[in-house]
Structure 1
Amino acid sequence: MKKTTLLSVPLILISLGLAVKADATTTQSSTSQGIVGFSTGGGTQSPVDPNLPDPTLPVTPQNPDGSTPNPGGDGPLTIDFASSFDFGTHDISNQDQTYVAKAQRYFNSGDLTPNYVQVTDRRGTFSGWELKVMELTQFTQISTGPQKYRELKGSTISLKNPIPASLNGDNAPSAQAIQSLIPGVETQIALAVSGKGAGTWVVRWGSQENITQEGLNPEVTLFVPGATPKDATAYQTTLNWILSDLPKNTPA
């Protein structure tokens, strides 16, 4: 009996040791989640530098007459800014002439950049957009006095070498060079097909290297026929910029 007892005690101790070791290696796991949501954006986007189009670094463009440009749109798809074009003052000529626009100027800065138009798409749908421009009328005299030659008949604006630019360098819209705007006719400036054009984009005409020492941008020009009679006064036109959603495909 004593022998049996002595042999059984070590077996019991060994069994207890195995049980303790199994408890020490037992592990548990659980899961939790992180979540974030986005909704269609809104508000306004300030103009950006067309050479460095960073939405967090706004600029303050200046109109040719020194005034402040019209504020940009408010909403998920907006035109934020469009340059006005100043073609200068010149001697009357009976020869065909092409006049070059002054580069874009800014308040509180001596910087000059290419002229440009800016669009922001915060819809989050990647459904695309189209930007057009329409010259509302032919260049017409500003003064209200006697007007013998009220319009610059046959004059045309050209917008050449368009360059889309954004910090979001992928999925750029396409942009079209315009040889001559026709008053009363909408002309496509840029097109972002489905999947392209999200975020803030500029279309600038030319690069910084194109700006001349005289502060002119040769990519934006005005042609005036020599045969068009002109009074010794200023002429002006209005450009209407039109931004729209791309039409959705519907079943036939």
Structure 2
Amino acid sequence: MRKKLAVTSVLMSVALLLGTTSVFAATTSTGNSQATITFTTDKAPVIVDPDDPTKPYDPIKDGAITPTNQTGPLTLDYAPNFNFGSHEALATNSAVYQALNKKPFLQVTDRRALRSKWDMKVKLGKFINSETSNESLSGAKLSISSGIVKSAIGLTDGSAPTTQNVQLTAGAASGTTILSSAAGTFSTWVVYWPGDLVGQAPNTYISLDVPINTQVKGTHTATLEWTISDVVN
């Protein structure tokens, strides 16, 4: 009879010990740590190929102008020259001349932390005649048709900025919006006005209307001023 009581006492002791262990296993302790990464906008965005914006492009190698090399969260990266060639001065009527550029494009980059509307405006300055150093081509109008908008990261939804047809009068006091974004989208954006890359046809996207009485001898040059502005919604 004593042997049975001894065994029972041992089993009860084991049960109590296991039960106590089970209670301590349910206790928890927590703490916090951090994961950190920093992005900067200290370097100018890469100029991309308007034919394939996922690839870099060297416009200088193609004889185009130097990129702006601007840095910051909202930048104008590249703006095109327009070349309308050499022509015999007309003494009988005005004429519209098409650009000869094969690969003109505009590039901007939005890397802002806070998204808001932005606008790109362009203004055509007064023409200056190399022969006289005087103002020339009064009343000339530069027309740029709506281009092809592309994203360097492949965005294709409705968040892409929109472009429109513009007509710029030489010497106008204010600029005209050529590209705008309703809310801002993180990407490098290109507006492309492709010309005839394999032939000799002029670029139908870009034209210059020159009045008859201004077509005098000389090389006439005007500055295009491109301005991108962050607009708080």
TM-score bucket of the superposed structures, by smaller chain? 0.7 to 0.9
Which of the residues 190, 202, 214 maps onto 1:202? 190
Residue 178 of structure 1 and its aligned partner are, at CA, apart by: 0.9
Which of the residues 122, 125, 130 maps onto 2:114? 125
Report the AA paired with residue 182 of structure 2: V
1:190 paired residue number: 179
1:86 paired residue number: 83
Residue 132 of structure 1 and its aligned partner are, at CA, apart by: 0.5
Q: How many residues align?
A: 225
State TM-score, norm by structure 1.
0.73
Structure 1: give runs of 5+ residues left out of the alignment: 105-112
State TM-score, norm by structure 2.
0.78
CA contact (8 A) 1:153 1:228 kept: no
Structure 2: give runs of 5+ residues left out of the alignment: none
1:214 paired residue number: 200
Report the AA paired with residue 50 of structure 1: P
Whether 2:163 is the aligned partner of 1:175: answer yes
Residue 219 of structure 1 and its aligned partner are, at CA, apart by: 0.7
The alignment partner of 2:4 has SS state of helix
Per-residue CA distance 1:52-100 (angstroms, 9 max, x = gap): 324xx43221499x46425332322211110101111223333443222
2:50 paired residue number: 50
Report the AA paired with residue 47 of structure 1: I
> Structure 1 residues 96, 244: CA separation in 2 closer, same or farther (over 3 Å shift)?
same
Report the AA paired with residue 118 of structure 1: Q
Which of the residues 97, 100, 103 maps onto 2:98? 100
CA contact (8 A) 2:147 2:191 kept: yes
Q: How does 1:130-141 map to 2 (within 5 A)?
A: 130-137=119-126, 139-141=127-129
Which runs of 4 or more aligned residues in structure 1 lie more than 6 Å from their structure 2 counterparts after TM superposition?
none
Per-residue CA distance 1:106-165 (angstroms, 9 max, x = gap): xxxxxxx3x11111222211123211111111x3322348x8xx6223321111122322
Q: How does 1:21-100 map to 2 (within 5 A)?
A: 23=21, 26=25, 30=30, 32-38=32-38, 41-54=41-54, 57-62=55-60, 66=63, 68-69=65-66, 71-93=68-90, 94-100=92-98
> Structure 1 residues 21, 237: CA separation in 2 closer, same or farther (over 3 Å shift)?
same
> What percent of counterpart residues are identical?
27
Q: Cα RMSD over matched residues?
A: 3.2
2:137 paired residue number: 152
Report the AA paired with residue 71 of structure 2: D
CA contact (8 A) 2:121 2:226 kept: yes
CA contact (8 A) 1:63 1:69 kept: no
CA contact (8 A) 1:159 1:219 kept: yes
> Structure 1 residues 68, 133: CA separation in 2 closer, same or farther (over 3 Å shift)?
closer
CA distance in 2, matches of 1:182, 1:12: 107
Residue 17 of structure 1 and its aligned partner are, at CA, apart by: 4.5
> Structure 1 residues 186, 222: CA separation in 2 closer, same or farther (over 3 Å shift)?
same
